[in-house]
Structure 1
Amino acid sequence: MSKDKENEDLKKDYWPLVELFSIIFALGLIFYIWEIYPDTLQEIDKQNTPITVPFNQKYSDDLPYDEKKSYAQKIGEKYGTYGDTYGSLNTLFSGWAFALLLISLFMQRRELQEQRKELAAQRDEITKANEIAESQRNISKQQSELLAQQSFYSLLFKLLDEKNNKINLFYFKDSYNNLEYEKYECFKFFSNYILHNMNNFNIQDSGSMNYFEYKEDLKEFILLSYTTPHSQSKNLFEGNLYFEHLINILIFIEQKSNPKDIDSDIAFLKSYISHDELVCLAVLGLKDKRFHRYIEKYGLLEHFDNGLYEHQFFLLQILYKPNAFMTFNSPKAA
């Protein structure tokens, strides 16, 4: 603590005592003057020779005016002068009363200043308390958002693990070639079969059709490339509800993801889908309207290899809107 600060604190501590003793001294001085004032006047009066008039003296016209006055008149004038003298004392008291009034006003002003300081300090404390409360609310909100985010990603990873578990249960038996496929090999078989058939689709045949007829013919052709080997084999490719589970993951991200993070969450999900899975999803979207909507909404065909499969990519562009092949950008995030 600095020396000036210490001196200021000392003044604050001793100033009320100084004011109290000043008031007591002023009142005592007034009382003392009031007490000694009459005696002082009497002492002054004794120093002057009083004027006496015999009781039986007769006044004549030749006497001076003062000598013609009666004794009672002289006594009245004498003590009337005392009264007039007390008038000057009243003026003194009035001055002291005015001085006390000024002192009281000064004290009130100091009290008001102190009250203002206290109110200002209280406002500062309230402001600081509000700032602390707002900070605590922000911290609580951030903690809540962090916990919700942690909970979201924890569930998302569990859903992705379950997706892999379902793939590990895949089994496909190609009765035509007498071959068996398991796990990711099932996706690879269907992907190669579908892409090969799409490559053999002749665009020139569309000359005699309108656009709608051509689109429906292409859709049936691609679905046939999937359903033919699927129907002729004993397999569990769709039996374990893999594709239904993938729709549930998309619904979970759509409903539970933070609007600011949904773009990255969708991109994260896409990184878990292989190209062979992507080809199968493109075909399943032609069968399932829900899947078709999600493919176009979230751009699930973004990573389709249009360089290696240029012809197949051209055919899929006929069946899906451009958004199906683009990076998803959330309107809310934008």
Structure 2
Amino acid sequence: MNIDKDSNKIWILFLSISGVLILWFGSYWFIELKFSNYEQKGQIGDMFGAINSLFSGLAFAGLIYAIYLQNKEIKLQKEELNKTREIAEAQEKALRSQAESQNLSVFQSSFTQMLEIHFRLMDTYADEKHTGSQRFNQKLIRACTEDPQDFEKYILQNMDARMLRHLFHISNIIELILIEFPGDPKKQRIYISRLVGCLAYYLLYFIVKAKDLDYYKEIKANLELIIPSLGDLDKF
């Protein structure tokens, strides 16, 4: 297809040049045969000279018009490019907003699931006499009433290892919040406050007392983020 187009262009150029040459030689022979007097030939030559000037002027005007059309076309292309860029930016913004919405939806789903795991873990602490939350709270109350000097020793000796590891799950929930909103302290506080609202009183009390223990040194920074949302608990 492209070869045919190139071939057509070559033929058009060839025919145009041939037409000009034929017209030029034809005019020459016509003048030679028609007018034998050089004075008449000179007058005809002067007339052709005037026509040449006219055609030169027309060619110059055509050049100016072609430049004008080219500039107009360039402006139209720029406008189209600007519109295309605006459309692309709008699409990018919409996609970004959609991605952020999807990310938030995934985060909220993960946040809810991890809270559900928290309550399921509580259920696993049940025994024959108490529900999981009752038994866990009893252990927490007993630990929190221990002398501060014996606090760490008591919890390591008397609390179920799963109960001790429960704070690591709480820390994982906080870590999830920090990862989702790395540069947004306001949203971090909102979701940490929601987390605090789901935790039992004595679990929060236990976190305040246990966050400085060596056992929890790896998650101390995360646990301390709970403190601003505790209200009067931070005085214990």
- Say whether the fold is shared (TM-score over 0.5): yes
Measured in 1, the distance between the counterparts of 2:181 and 2:231 equals: 28
Over the aligned positions, Cα root-mean-square deviation in angstroms equals 3.5
Give per-residue Cα distances to partners, 1:246-291, cap 9 Å, x unaligned.
Answer: 2332333333445334343333322222321111222332242123
Amino acid at match of 1:227: I
**Number of residue pairs matched?**
203
Alignment CA distance shift 1:148-1:305 (3 Å): closer
Q: Mind listing any 5+ residue stretches in structure 1 that lack a counterpart?
A: 1-26, 40-78, 174-179, 199-218, 317-334
Alignment CA distance shift 1:94-1:304 (3 Å): closer
Q: Helix, strand or coil: the match of 1:135? A: helix
Aligned residues of 2:171 and 2:223 also touching (Cα < 8 A): no
Which residue pairs with 1:118 in the alignment? 73
**Alignment counterpart, residue 42 of structure 2, candidates 87, 91, 101:** 87
Which residue pairs with 2:16 in the alignment? none
1:146 partnered with 2:107: no
Q: Which consecutive aligned stretches of 4+ in structure 1 deviate over 6 angstroms post-superposition?
A: none
**Alignment counterpart, residue 135 of structure 1, candidates 60, 65, 90:** 90
Measured in 1, the distance between the counterparts of 2:220 and 2:182 equals: 24
- Larger Rg: 1 or 2? 1
Q: Helix, strand or coil: the match of 2:228? A: coil
**Alignment counterpart, residue 290 of structure 1, candidates 218, 221, 228:** 218
Alignment CA distance shift 1:190-1:305 (3 Å): farther
Deviation at 1:131, TM superposition (A): 1.9
Which residue pairs with 1:22 in the alignment? none
1:273 partnered with 2:169: no
Measured in 2, the distance between the counterparts of 1:88 and 1:305 equals: 112
Q: Helix, strand or coil: the match of 2:227? A: coil
Give per-residue Cα distances to partners, 1:114-159, cap 9 Å, x unaligned.
Answer: 2222222122112212221222222222222222221121111111
Which residue pairs with 2:3 in the alignment? none
Measured in 1, the distance between the counterparts of 2:227 and 2:83 equals: 54
Amino acid at match of 1:280: F
Task: Give the TM-score, by structure 1 length.
Answer: 0.50
Alignment CA distance shift 1:197-1:244 (3 Å): closer
**Alignment counterpart, residue 259 of structure 1, candidates 183, 187, 207:** 183
Task: Give the TM-score, by structure 2 length.
Answer: 0.68
Which residue pairs with 1:5 in the alignment? none
Aligned residues of 2:111 and 2:173 also touching (Cα < 8 A): yes
Percent identical pairs in the alignment equals 15
Measured in 1, the distance between the counterparts of 2:83 and 2:134 equals: 65
Alignment of 1:33-44 (within 5 A): none
**Alignment counterpart, residue 133 of structure 2, candidates 139, 164, 184:** 184
Measured in 2, the distance between the counterparts of 1:172 and 1:281 equals: 23
Measured in 1, the distance between the counterparts of 2:209 and 2:146 equals: 12
Alignment CA distance shift 1:85-1:251 (3 Å): same
Q: Mind listing any 5+ residue stretches in structure 2 that lack a counterpart?
A: 1-22
Amino acid at match of 1:182: T
Measured in 2, the distance between the counterparts of 1:263 and 1:104 equals: 76
Measured in 1, the distance between the counterparts of 2:53 and 2:82 equals: 43
Deviation at 1:196, TM superposition (A): 4.7
Deviation at 1:164, TM superposition (A): 0.9
Alignment of 1:224-235 (within 5 A): 226-227=154-155, 231=158
Aligned residues of 1:295 and 1:301 also touching (Cα < 8 A): yes
Measured in 2, the distance between the counterparts of 1:117 and 1:147 equals: 44
Aligned residues of 1:194 and 1:222 also touching (Cα < 8 A): yes
1:248 partnered with 2:177: no
Deviation at 1:240, TM superposition (A): 8.7
Which residue pairs with 1:109 in the alignment? 64
